[in-house]
């Protein structure tokens, strides 16, 4: 099975004297969920920026298939003056919208609102909904359930894991228990 993501001998730092990581290698195949853990400031979110080609590595290579991302802060994920539905249909098909709304316990009427009219948990679930409806090969998840209560967190993670047959996932988390429960491999940086 081909790799959807291949990071080889990656080195990056905002200065050459202070590298966040050196010679980092990892790969991801369809059906895999790998978790990235590490202290704050270790470079976990920066790695996603490199994968998305928003930053350039100092050394190494990244080969990546199509990605969508769920950011840690749902309020920065949406434009404040457009409804959630407008922002979802701008980038994704609404063909399976009803199916996923049920799976993540979100009412359609909430999608007709502006981002500031929703709670952080509702907005995070809308962000996950948008990312899945984009049908990526890889889903990059940056603390995707930190804004959710424990019951909804479990439901959302189970739903995500049920989609591993059609994609791969890379999860940033500080929750080692969550990483151990869901990940095929835990990568510490």
User: Where does residue 94 fall: left (phi above 0), alpha (psi -120 to 50 degrees), or beta otherwise?
Assistant: alpha
CA distance to 86, 131, 150, per residue, from 142 (Å) = 23, 12, 17
For residues 27-55, give the mean pLDDT.
93
Q: In sequence order, which residues have a C-beta less than 8 Å from that of residue 143 and are 6 or more positions away? A: 72, 172, 173, 174
Whether 143 contacts 123, CB under 8 Å: no
pLDDT at 1 > cutoff 70: no
CA dihedral 41, 45, 48, 53 (to 10 degrees): -70
Domain spans of the chain, in order of start: 3-188
Domain 3-188 sits in CATH 3.40.50.1980 = no
Residue among 54, 49, 68, 1 nearest 29 (CA):
1
- Report pLDDT for 74: 86
What's the mean pLDDT when you consider all of the chain? 92
- Report pLDDT for 40: 85
For residues 75-85, give the mean pLDDT.
94
- Report pLDDT for 186: 96
Within its chain, how far is the Cα of 69 from the centroid? 4
For the whole prediction, is pTM greater than 0.85? yes
For residues 66-74, give the mean pLDDT.
91
Q: Which residue has the higher pLDDT, 14 or 5?
A: 5
For residues 125-135, give the mean pLDDT.
95
CA distance to 25, 31, 186, per residue, from 7 (Å) = 5, 18, 15
Q: Specify the pairing of strand 59-64 against strand 18-29.
A: unpaired
- Would the CA dihedral through 35, 132, 136, 127 be positive or negative? negative
pLDDT at 147 > cutoff 80: no
> By percentage, how much of the chain surpasses pLDDT 70?
99
CA distance 89 to 86: 5
pLDDT at 3 > cutoff 70: yes
């Amino acid at each position: 099975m081909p790799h959807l993501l291949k990071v080889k001998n990656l080195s990056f730092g905002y200065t050459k004297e202070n590298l966040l990581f050196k010679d980092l290698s990892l790969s991801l195949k369809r059906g895999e969920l790998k978790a990235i853990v590490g202290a704050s400031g270790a470079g976990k979110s920066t790695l996603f920026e490199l994968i998305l080609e928003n930053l350039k590595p100092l050394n190494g290579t990244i080969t990546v298939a199509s990605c969508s991302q769920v950011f840690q802060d749902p309020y920065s994920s949406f434009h404040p003056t457009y409804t959630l539905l407008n922002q979802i249909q701008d980038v994704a098909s609404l063909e399976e919208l009803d199916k996923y709304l049920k799976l993540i316990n979100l009412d359609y009427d909430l999608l007709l609102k502006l981002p500031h009219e929703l709670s952080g948990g509702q907005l995070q679930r809308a962000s996950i909904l948008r990312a899945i409806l984009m049908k990526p090969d890889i889903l990059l998840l940056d603390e995707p359930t930190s804004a959710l209560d424990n019951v909804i967190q479990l439901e959302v993670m189970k739903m995500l894991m049920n989609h591993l047959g059609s994609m791969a996932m890379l999860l940033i988390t500080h929750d080692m228990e969550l990483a151990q429960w869901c990940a095929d491999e835990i990568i510490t940086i």
